[in-house]
């Protein structure tokens, strides 16, 4: 890891490299769908910076993956489709000491030819006090395993002591 999210050079973000192993426990099912394997490894390179003077958090990542629906439908394909570089990014703006709004985006490969869509969400959070936070989001996951229009709202209250 290099850099710092908050401190240090103003334009040098925190840069991280990651490796994530995933395994799907439904091997026979994902094989029928055309997945090449029931396990896989993702490699990531990410950069994150909090620009305090602008009340802005910016994060971007490149993910080398062959995961189908993030690995839920296995990895790669029997047709030989393998690793691809995908983009992930998020942006959050702090409206006040208690309120933040933002959006996230994640691209995904369509190794199985099922019309896998990229994911996007917009969110807002508000801290009522130091113990209670309310969050709301609209999420659009597109098509997942041929089920169209996977989108909806999310509402959460978090209480911490």
Beta strands in 52-83 (DSSP E): 56-65
In contact, 67 and 30? CB cutoff 8 Å:
no
Whether residue 80 has pLDDT greater than 80:
no
Whether residue 90 has pLDDT greater than 80:
yes
Q: In whole numbers, what is the pLDDT of the chain averaged over residues? A: 90
- Over residues 121-153, the pLDDT tens digits come to 999 999 999 999 999 999 999 887 777 888 999
Q: Is 4 left (phi over 0), alpha (psi -120 to 50) or beta?
A: beta
- Over residues 49-79, the pLDDT tens digits come to 999 889 999 999 999 999 888 888 888 887 7
Whether residue 81 has pLDDT greater than 80:
no
State the Cα angle at 102 between 98 and 105, rounded to 5°.
Answer: 155
- Nearest by Cα to 132 from 100, 155, 159: 159
pTM metric for this prediction:
0.84
Ramachandran angles phi, psi of 71, nearest 5°: 105, -10
Q: Name the DSSP letter for residue 53.
A: G
The pair of three-digit structure tokens given for residue 9, joined into one six-digit string: 């050079």
- Nearest by Cα to 47 from 55, 59, 62, 56: 59
Whole-angstrom distance, CA of residue 8 vs CA of residue 105: 27
Q: What pLDDT is attached to residue 86?
A: 94
């Amino acid at each position: 890891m290099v850099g710092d999210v908050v401190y240090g050079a103003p334009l040098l973000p925190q840069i991280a490299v990651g490796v994530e192993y995933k395994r799907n426990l439904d091997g026979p099912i994902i094989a029928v769908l055309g997945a090449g394997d029931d396990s896989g490894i993702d490699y990531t390179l990410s950069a994150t910076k909090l620009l305090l003077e602008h009340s802005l958090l910016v994060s971007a990542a490149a993910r080398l993956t062959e995961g189908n629906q993030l690995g839920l439908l296995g990895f790669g394909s029997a047709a030989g489709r393998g690793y691809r570089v995908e983009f992930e990014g998020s942006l959050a703006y702090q409206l006040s000491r208690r309120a933040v709004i933002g959006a996230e985006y994640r691209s995904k490969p369509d190794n199985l030819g099922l019309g896998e869509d990229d994911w996007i969400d917009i969110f807002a959070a508000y801290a009522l006090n130091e113990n209670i936070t309310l969050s709301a989001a609209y999420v659009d996951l597109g098509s997942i395993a041929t089920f169209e229009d996977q989108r909806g709202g999310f509402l959460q209250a978090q209480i911490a002591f």
